[in-house]
Structure 1
């Protein structure tokens, strides 16, 4: 049994990761400021510490009792980040800097959750981890800065000359049961399903040809748990993706098929300056960890729809 520290463990990905680690017999401590996560949904056997990753001393103290750390805590909504850039930078970049320092100090491996937002407008081709990173948002820039903190500590070491063992994961569009459709952090899938269940039209921005690489939550968790086994010093960056692109209008059609009813769509705003296409190359994760996403989009949507339907009817 190992002891793991998860920052941001009350969030969507964090709760699923906590459940998976507990199910494997590990001990889990969660650090979360509860600004967006729901502690009531956290497994009761997890140890919850209320606090923010901007508190370097608290984070370092918790890391002392851990065998490994997953750093997920972030202000993940681009809109929320843009609304308070100073706070978002303190949490997203500053929090990562603190997590890196704590991991180095306690000499434990770190799995740092970055984002596909670091790639910016990469175009319709699948991007590998060596693709130039040109983020378009402050959130993406902060995530890239977080990666730099980890890379520097892995190359140059920290106090006592200890070099960090860091695995950086860049998730693409994560979805699945447990994602709150009413949250500003919600993805297009949970919002579309919520609209379908309420009989409202699905709002499709632009021409609907913009595409994303949607990865089911169980698949991403499988990758994250594989990453923590890597303990040798240095930095490894892997995409958390499927390698398959789905357009928004195809997504809307597929959700309509699963709902079994007449789904209406309505045009939304034509957004300028955004990312039209986002698609990852899963090759490195497959080569190093033997990981490939297993849940097809149709199956993942079905599971997510059934969960949201059950929650709506409660």
Structure 2
């Protein structure tokens, strides 16, 4: 049995990861300031330390007792980052540097949650980890700079670039929530779904249970060299097609309207999953239709 520290562990992915680790018999400590996460995302038995990753000294003290560190804490909302850019940089970049320092000081491995945002608009073909990174947002730039800091740990560093993660416990009202949670919530309420632009933009959606399996594989790997992998399915669906799939999963009619396209919106985002398969034996297993069914059930209160 090991003890793991998860920063941002009260968030969507972090909460699912904490549950998975506890089920495997591990001990979990979470550092979270609850600015966007929720304490009820944690499993019984997990220890919550309320605080922010900008406090490097405290992060290091907590990490001293742990066998590994998973760094998920971030300000991922583009709007929140734009409203307070200094704070976003302090959390996203400064917080990562603190996590790296803690991992180095205590000689423990670090798994870092980066983002597909580092690629920018890479086109409709699957993008591999070796592709040129050209982020279009401050958030993507923070993640790319943070990757450089993480890689200074050498073999103990693992970087995961999740694409669009969805599933139960992703709250639609949160500014950090993905498009699936918001669209499902609107569909269940009989509201009109608003698509920015014509809806031809496409995304690679990965179920949260799959992304957790990828993190677990990264945490248990033999650290022979630093590793960067995509967290993706390799499949993409247009936003317009997604709305139809959501309506089918909800068993409801589709009420749709088109709003103006968002300036700078990425047209296509699709990952190449091969490197994760080759290095970690990971492959996404949950089909979009099945994942939507689970998401709808949770939002209906059928699976709390």
TM superposition score category, shorter chain reference: over 0.9
Tell whether the 8 Å contact from 1:111 to 1:168 is kept in structure 2 after alignment. yes
Among 267, 277, 296, the alignment partner of 1:276 is: 267
**How far off its partner does 1:45 sit?**
0.6
- The residue aligned with 1:208 is 199
**How far off its partner does 1:63 sit?**
0.9
Tell whether the 8 Å contact from 1:227 to 1:289 is kept in structure 2 after alignment. yes
Give per-residue Cα distances to partners, 1:133-155, cap 9 Å, x unaligned. Answer: 1100000000001100011232x
Distance 2:224 2:277 in 1: 21
Tell whether the 8 Å contact from 2:11 to 2:41 is kept in structure 1 after alignment. no
3-state SS, counterpart of residue 310 of structure 1:
coil
Aligned pairs for 1:181-192 within 5 A: 181-192=172-183
Distance 2:58 2:300 in 1: 39
Distance 2:197 2:60 in 1: 46
Tell whether the 8 Å contact from 1:206 to 1:271 is kept in structure 2 after alignment. yes
Tell whether the 8 Å contact from 2:16 to 2:41 is kept in structure 1 after alignment. no
- The residue aligned with 1:157 is none
- Residue 258 (structure 1) aligned with residue 231 (structure 2): no
**How far off its partner does 1:232 sit?**
2.2
Structure 2 residues not aligned, in runs of 5+: none
Distance 2:91 2:257 in 1: 36
Distance 1:8 1:172 in 2: 18
- Residue 237 (structure 1) aligned with residue 228 (structure 2): yes
- The residue aligned with 1:225 is 216
- Tell me which stretches of 4 or more aligned residues in structure 1 moved more than 4 Å: none
**Greater shift after overlay, 78-87 or 226-235?**
226-235
- The residue aligned with 2:22 is 22
- The residue aligned with 2:128 is 128
Tell whether the 8 Å contact from 1:196 to 1:259 is kept in structure 2 after alignment. yes
Distance 1:232 1:21 in 2: 19
Please give the TM-score of this superposition, normalised by the length of structure 1: 0.95
Q: How many residues are paired up?
A: 304
